[in-house]
Amino acid sequence: PQILRLILGDQLNASHSWLAEKDNSILYVMMEIGQETSYVRHHRQKVLVFFAAMRNFAKALTSKGHQVSYLTLDDKNNQQSLTKNLSRYLKQYPNARLQCQLPDEYRVDHQLRSWAGEQELTIEWFDSEHFLTQRDSLEQLFDSDSKLLMETFYRHMRRHLGVLMDGDSPIGGQWNFDSKNRKKLPKKLAVSEPLIFKNDAEDIDIMLTEMKVDTIGNADPRQLSWPTSRHQARQLLSYFCEYLLPYFGTYQDAMTSPEHHQHYWSLFHSRLSFALNSKMLAPLEVVDQAVASWQRNPDSIELNQIEGFVRQIIGWREYIRGIYWRFMPEYKNQNQLHHQRSLPAFYWNAKTNMNCVRQSVQQSLDYAYAHHIQRLMVTGNFALLAGVDPDQVDDWYLGIYIDALEWVELPNTRGMSQYADGGLLATKPYVSSANYIQKMSHYCSNCHYRHDQKTGDKACPFNSLYWHFIDRNQQQFKTNHRMGMMYSVWHKKSQQEREQLLEQANYYLDHLDDL
Ligand code: FAD
Ligand code: SF4
């Protein structure tokens, strides 16, 4: 070959211009590497699905006549490092040029660039042709001293792409329909079943065991439920548009448990994040198909459902990526609230009496999936209230979820959920007492703790920990007008009540693992 083209595991974009024509002078290189299975302990389903999807992608390329070299994890020539393997290819083909698509993760980008620098090698870079924005889009859009508001970014994207627009105005006259969204799930509402694939990844599973890949979570490798090909990814998208989109916005934030709903873990969420993050699906095709469904079925899909969904894809997802590239690598070390505690063991085994946390962790271990509000307002909220070291929180989120890649995990976890960036991404910390969880879920009715008690044996830990958080961060938040009301509530409490709450919280903080 005259050209070696690297395709990373999250660059499974079949529409990439690289692939438009076959060319025998080009060799596509794909590799399963120990470096990627071990930079954090991943959920077993995540490793299985990435390798299964990569293998299918390589097969699809070969069947279209492209030349592909695919290194399996157990290949005896595999050096288990991206750059060591590349060096070997370049040794084998000394006259070949190396072409790469821009990686999404800083870690991989940095690795490739420093290696190329050391070798005095020129990498020819290409866009991954997936995102709707560039890495530096936030810099272009916002002045250096303006606040990087997601809402400003989102409106810009709506206008720029002409999605749900009527000329220069948003369709329906509003940019968002939050007041209609975020309802509690009625216990009697029928929840559609999730579309589950039954992919056989047993050979990969055996290889992972032989190669001693250390993973977390549960998996049935003979029935891997996540999409492992573009065809399946498209099926998942169509299924979402037909059966789930009609309720998406309304119940976007709702949480329930197995006793109440059989499909408690998926509800009306799309479960498209893996298909998107691996690039099997493009964000614009997802949005276009969802908008087309809404246009065809305005009676069953109301505007608030489609707007809620569009906001996630062209708003949050692109914005988060912009934040990542704007602030890496410093972002990864931020710890504005100086949190140092260890992540309690129940994040790994779900053994806790707090029903909301137990259910959210258990379904994460079972399905490698939890929806946004479980991540933000249950597990994230608890870690923030308890003052857990954001490094440990990051490692947990980066390992456990099927869709976890650092560019999207890090700003969501460290920024939005843990406020470790000092409010760059969230205008106020996402903390709540049991009140919010009781309002949005069915967890509290079956809990060992009482959501309406603040002190005493059965008091819900979220309650006193919430006030402890408010109290200990007074300096940080006293000028934040969005927190003003909470501080005035806190100061209106009698000294005795405040002391009791803090005492209760301190007891819980000293016994986190026993909660
Ligand atoms: P849906 O609810 O159906 O939403 C549709 C799509 O919108 C998602 O597939 C996703 O692509 C996009 N989206 C929605 N919210 C966000 C967001 N905040 N940031 C970026 N994209 C968003 N998402 C990841 O893809 N990878 C992660 O590692 C990840 N880590 C997270 C960690 C924390 C602490 C939190 C609070 C959120 C995290 N998210 C992450 C965002 C969000 O929770 C997931 O994208 C979503 O739950 C995936 O499920 P879904 O496909 O069913 O999403
Ligand atoms: Fe969670 Fe507290 Fe409700 Fe129990 S009572 S489910 S710990 S919020």
DSSP string for 478-511: TT-GGGHHHHHHHHHS-HHHHHHHHHHHHHHHHT
| Predicted pLDDT at 267 | 95
Q: What number does the ligand 2 atom closest to the CA of 462 have?
A: 2
In terms of CATH architecture, what is 3-126? 3-Layer(aba) Sandwich (3.40)
DSSP E strands, 17-117: 26-31, 67-71, 97-101
Cα 315 to Cα 97: distance, rounded to the nearest angstrom? 37
- Topology adopted by domain 137-200+226-327: 1.25.40
442, with CB counted inside 10 A (0-12, 13-18, 19+), is: buried
pLDDT in tens, 66-108: 999 999 999 999 999 999 999 999 999 999 999 999 999 999 9
Ligand 1 pocket mutation, candidates 271, 281, 384, 408, criterion most atoms within 8 A of CB = 408
- Read off the tokens for 284: 């614009």
Give the model's pLDDT for residue 138: 86
Low-confidence ranges of the chain (pLDDT < 70): none
Ligand number nearest to the C-alpha of 454: 2
Of 10, 239, 312, 393, the residue with max ligand 1 atoms within 8 A of its CB, to mutate for a pocket test, comes to 312
Q: Quick one: pLDDT at residue 410?
A: 98
Handedness of CA 172, 173, 174, 177 (dihedral sign): negative
pLDDT recorded at residue 507: 98
The domains of the chain are located at: 3-126, 137-200+226-327, 346-514
- Ligand 2 and 436: CB distance under 6 A: no
- The C-alpha atoms of residue 384 and residue 376 are separated, in whole angstroms, by 10
pLDDT reported for residue 464: 98
Pocket test of ligand 2: the residue of 255, 257, 354 to mutate, having most ligand atoms within 8 Å of its CB, is 354
The structure's pTM equals 0.97
DSSP secondary structure of 426-477: -SS-----HHHHHHHBS-GGG-SSBTT-SSSTTB-HHHHHHHHHHHHTHHHH
The interface pTM score, or ipTM, of the predicted complex is 0.99
- With a 6 A CB cut-off, is 508 part of the ligand 2 pocket? no
Distances in whole angstroms, Cα of residue 139 to Cα of each of 101, 357, 411, 495: 22, 38, 16, 47
Spacing, Cα 368 to ligand 1 middle (Å): 13
The tokens describing 406, both together, are 């650092």
User: Atom of ligand 2 at shortest distance to CA of 434?
Assistant: 8
**Ligand 2 pocket test: which of 443, 446, 466 has the largest number of ligand atoms within 8 Å of its C-beta?**
443
- For a mutational test of ligand 1's pocket, the pick from 266, 314, 412, i.e. the residue with the most ligand atoms closer than 8 A to its C-beta, is 412
* Ligand found nearest the CA of 42: 1
Cis peptide before 221 (omega within 30 of 0): no
Token couple for 410: 């890090």
CA pseudo-torsion sign 53, 58, 62, 64: positive
Which residue lies with its CA nearest to atom 7 of ligand 2? 354
For residue 123, give the H/E element and its range: strand 123-126
* Ligand 1, CB within 6 Å, residue ranges: 269-273, 276-277, 312-313, 316-317, 320, 371-372, 375-376, 380, 397, 401, 403-404, 408-409, 412-413, 416-417
Nearest CA residue ID for atom 9, ligand 1:
273
Output the pLDDT for position 140: 85
Which SS3 state, helix, strand or coil, does residue 216 take? strand
Q: Is the CB of 355 under 6 A from ligand 2?
A: yes
Q: What is the pLDDT of residue 24?
A: 95
Tell the residue nearest (CA) to atom 21 of ligand 1: 317
Determine the pLDDT at residue 147: 81
The sign one gets for the Cα dihedral 459, 465, 470, 471 is: positive
Q: Please tell me the predicted confidence (pLDDT) of residue 294.
A: 97
Residue nearest to atom 36 of ligand 1 (CA): 376
pLDDT of residue 478: 86
Q: What is the pLDDT of residue 148?
A: 85
Please state, in angstroms and rounded to a whole number, the distance separating the CA atoms of residues 145 and 3: 44
Backbone angles phi, psi at 504, to 5 degrees: -60, -45
Q: In 225-286, which ranges are E strands? A: none
3-126 and 137-200+226-327: same fold? Answer: no
CATH superfamily of domain region 346-514: DNA Cyclobutane Dipyrimidine Photolyase, subunit A, domain 3 (1.10.579.10)
User: Does the CB atom of residue 466 touch ligand 2 within 6 A?
Assistant: no
Give the position, in ligand 1's atom list, of the atom nearest the Cα of 277: 25
Give the angle subtended at the CA of 448 by the CAs of 442 and 449, to the nearest 5°. Answer: 80
Distance CA 157, CA 170 (A): 11
Q: Give how far Cα 50 sits from Cα of 32, 131, 256, 365, 402, Å.
A: 9, 20, 29, 17, 9
Cα gap 185→187, rounded to integer Å: 6
